[in-house]
């Protein structure tokens, strides 16, 4: 739940914003033509993109390429509030800002990536905290100031030890890529993503996603994903010492009771009974 949001815009597009949310919370966002730098003060942030998941702690920020994302925001302990600062980097605005000069990132080709953790160096932390004076005094903010802050952030990011990777992320703004449906499915096969959320990550409607899925896998999304998750659950119950609760979350279920019901319905026995039978059979062989 979003409790408070302040933002500064250029031409009706948000450039810098501060958001206070109540955790836990899943926040979906589409960045069609922009990168986004996210910084938060405490807790954990899990970013799900079309090609995977990135875990962020309060000692890190994250830079996201254009695309579709889900952000899962959680506190370390009990539910509470979390403050985030987001800085949006639009490709056309960057081109306009750097019309007489080249960003270092645009000179070289880099590996394709969706998101990248950025260590919160002293200078990046001070940059973000320095924005508070503008949130407290919004009348000070002008278009020229916002452009100056964009330039400052880019220069700071390109001076970190991840400069080449970060530069590659900027470069992708100017070379958009299409992610194949199979890449999305395989990346989130064991995540607690719903079919509708997978469709959102792919940039498709739910009906289009289901139709393309059937064409690629010759199966429905629900049946294919459930089968894969249950197969992995059986394997983990056979060869690992993970608890049943841990197995449940490892294979993408977010509720133990639901996992147990689905497992028993399709495998014919509960997870505990399955593990006991396997253990007894192995003891007999020994």
> Residue 55's pLDDT is what?
79
Instruction: Confirm or reject CATH 2.60.120.810 for domain 2-172, answering yes or no.
Output: yes
Nearest CA to 36 out of 89, 79, 113, 80 is that of: 89
Name the 3-class secondary structure at 143: helix
Helix, strand, coil share (%) of the chain residues, nearest 5: 45, 25, 30
Domain chopping of the chain, boundaries: 2-172, 181-285
- Comparing 29-33, 128-132, 216-220, 272-276, the range with the smallest average pLDDT is 29-33
If you classify domain 181-285 with CATH, what class do you get?
Answer: mainly alpha
Tell me the pLDDT tens digit for each residue of 43-91: 677 777 777 777 777 777 888 776 677 666 665 445 677 888 889 888 7
Query: Does residue 171 surpass a pLDDT of 70?
Result: no
- Indicate the pLDDT class of residue 7, thresholds 50, 70 and 90: very high
* Low-confidence winner among 22-31, 119-128, 135-144, 147-156 (lowest mean pLDDT): 22-31
For residues 15 and 135, is the Cβ–Cβ distance under 8 A?
no
Angle formed by the axes of helices 195-202 and 206-217, to 10°? 90
pLDDT of residue 60: 77
Is 60 exceeded by the pLDDT of residue 107? no
List, in sequence order, every beta strand (DSSP E) within the chain: 2-10, 13-22, 25-31, 34-40, 44-49, 52-57, 60-64, 67-74, 81-90, 115-119
Mean pLDDT of the chain: 81
d(CA 202, CA 50): 6
Q: In what order do the strands lie in the sheet with 52-57?
A: 25-31, 67-74, 44-49, 52-57
- In percent, how much of the chain has pLDDT > 90? 37
Q: How many helices (H) and strands (E) does the chain have?
A: 12, 10
């Amino acid at each position: 739940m979003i409790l408070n949001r302040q933002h500064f815009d250029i031409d009706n597009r948000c450039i810098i914003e501060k958001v206070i949310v109540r955790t836990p919370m899943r926040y979906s966002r589409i960045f069609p033509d922009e990168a986004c730098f996210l910084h938060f003060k405490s807790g954990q942030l899990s970013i799900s993109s079309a090609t995977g998941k990135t875990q962020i702690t309060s000692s890190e920020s994250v830079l996201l390429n254009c695309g579709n994302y889900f952000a899962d925001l959680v506190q370390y302990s009990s539910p509470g509030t979390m403050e985030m600062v987001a800085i949006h980097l639009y490709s056309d605005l960057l081109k306009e800002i750097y019309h007489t000069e080249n960003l270092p990132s645009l000179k070289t080709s880099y590996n394709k990536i969706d998101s990248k953790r950025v260590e919160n160096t002293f200078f990046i932390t001070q940059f973000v905290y320095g924005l508070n004076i503008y949130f407290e005094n919004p009348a000070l903010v002008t278009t020229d100031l916002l452009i100056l802050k964009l330039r400052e952030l880019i220069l700071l990011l390109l001076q970190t030890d991840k400069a080449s990777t970060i530069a590659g992320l900027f470069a992708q703004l100017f070379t958009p890529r299409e992610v194949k449906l199979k890449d999305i499915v395989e990346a989130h096969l064991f995540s607690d993503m719903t079919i509708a959320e997978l469709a959102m990550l792919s940039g498709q409607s739910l009906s289009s996603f289901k139709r393309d899925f059937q064409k690629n896998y010759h199966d429905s999304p629900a049946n294919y994903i459930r089968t894969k998750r249950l197969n992995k659950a059986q394997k983990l119950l056979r060869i690992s010492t993970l608890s049943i609760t841990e197995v449940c979350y490892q294979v993408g279920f977010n509720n133990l009771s639901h996992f147990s019901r689905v497992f028993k319905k399709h495998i014919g026995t509960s997870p505990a009974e399955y593990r006991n039978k396997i253990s007894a059979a192995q003891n007999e062989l020994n």
